[in-house]
Amino acid sequence: MHCIELARIATLIAAQGPSLATLQPNIPADAITRYWVASRQRTDLWNRGLARLVDLEAAGRTLAIDAWWFEHVPMIEEILVSEMLTRVMAGVGAAVDKEIEDREVEPVTHSVFQTHLESRNRVLRVLLFSRGRSVEQALRLNRLRRCVERWTDFLIAPLVRVRPDSIQFAIDAGRAQAYASENTADYCDRGSGGVNWLSAATLELSLGGLCDRRAALPRANQQVGQSVLACLRPQVFDSLGVPHTATTQRILAGHSPECPPARNSSDGNRGDKHVLFHVPQTRPAAPNLVRWTF
């Protein structure tokens, strides 16, 4: 699976984000555990690849450094592009567990988010200070980074409308707030179709011209994508596989289409407990990100 496919999945999750935040469904414990495990394994592979570059630079192996850049550019692109999905999942996890005393989803999604930030900062440091890359390559990766940042804030915006504290998962809070405040009528029902397939197609076109055709870790990406999709219940989709609108989901769940369902803290005692969720976890503050421009 290419990293662009993960960006497409991020668009799907973002389209369902307001509905998930409002209905607060019970996300399967097995799915969220698989998401944590798959993300952790992929991060370990990323760190090995980045550590290899550090070793080569310490040894002064110029030719090997050039070969590293040729082989690992898809991995760098993957770290930058897949951050969209990580941030959207972190926002959805925080929104789903907002009014639940015994939080189960947010600690996992936020842990993956923090780990991904560390990998992203390492990539930005490599792009700033490492040798062996061409100017054209550096400029293309910088354009990709900026494109991903804009799309990330766009995908976080609908969730900000129903959960304002989700702004913490945006890259540029002002830009995400601007996206959330414009076209109010278009965002009233995020699953109505326009932002679902049209945004996915536009996103794919935007990233397709900036990304390498090679996939760095296709199997690891597939495991992450499958675990994310497993977090969505089958009831979210109709018989044709098209996601229901937020209004339709409220009706199918037995709630009023106009009024969001009330959720008490006592509803947080879910039956499908897992060992990852027995110990309460606090949510640390996101570290300052490295910002750079040419």
How do residues 119-166 score in pLDDT, each as one tens digit? 999 999 998 887 777 888 888 999 999 999 999 999 998 888 888 888
Q: What angle do CA 93, 2, 69 make, to 5 degrees?
A: 110
- The gap from C-alpha 250 to its chain's centroid, in whole angstroms, comes to 25
pLDDT-derived band at 267, boundaries 50, 70, 90 = very low
The pLDDT value given to residue 255: 52
Pick the closest to residue 31 from 225, 191, 199 (CA basis).
Answer: 225
The pLDDT value given to residue 233: 65
pLDDT-derived band at 87, boundaries 50, 70, 90 = very high
Across all residues in the chain, what is the average pLDDT?
77
Beta bridge partners of 237: 243
The pLDDT value given to residue 102: 62
Backbone torsions φ then ψ of 237, nearest 5 degrees: -110, 150
237 and 70 Cβ atoms separated by less than 8 Å: no
CA distance 79 to 60: 26
Backbone torsions φ then ψ of 243, nearest 5 degrees: -65, 140
Q: What angle do CA 41, 286, 220 make, to 5 degrees?
A: 15
Residue 293 is assigned to a structural domain of this protein = no
39-43, 95-99, 258-262, range with the lowest pLDDT: 258-262
Tell me which of 43 and 293 has the higher pLDDT.
43
pLDDT-derived band at 249, boundaries 50, 70, 90 = low
CA distance 186 to 261: 22
Confidence check: pLDDT of 257 > 60: no
Q: State the average pLDDT over residues 60-69.
A: 91
Residue 286 is assigned to a structural domain of this protein = no
Task: Report residue 151 as tokens.
Answer: 């799309």
Residue 283 is assigned to a structural domain of this protein = no
* CA dihedral sign, ordered 140, 291, 92, 246: negative
Tell me which of 153 and 284 has the higher pLDDT.
153
Residue 292 is assigned to a structural domain of this protein = no
Residue 232 is assigned to a structural domain of this protein = yes
Residue 282 is assigned to a structural domain of this protein = no
The pLDDT value given to residue 230: 87
How many independent structural domains does the chain possess? 1
Strands (E) in 103-147, as ranges, are: none
Cβ-based neighbour number of residue 165 at 10 Å: 12
Residue 216 is assigned to a structural domain of this protein = yes
Which amino acid type is present at position 95?
A
User: Residue 143's domain spans which residues?
Assistant: 3-277
96 and 27 Cβ atoms separated by less than 8 Å: yes
pTM above 0.85, yes or no: no
The pLDDT value given to residue 80: 95
155 and 84 Cβ atoms separated by less than 8 Å: yes
Residue 124 is assigned to a structural domain of this protein = yes
Pick the closest to residue 96 from 188, 247, 233, 224 (CA basis).
Answer: 233
Helix axes 135-162, 83-96, angle to 10 degrees: 20
CA distance 155 to 175: 11
The pLDDT value given to residue 196: 56
CA distance 140 to 77: 10
Write out pLDDT tens, residues 196-245.
566 777 888 888 888 988 999 999 999 999 999 888 765 555 544 455 55
Which amino acid type is present at position 171?
I
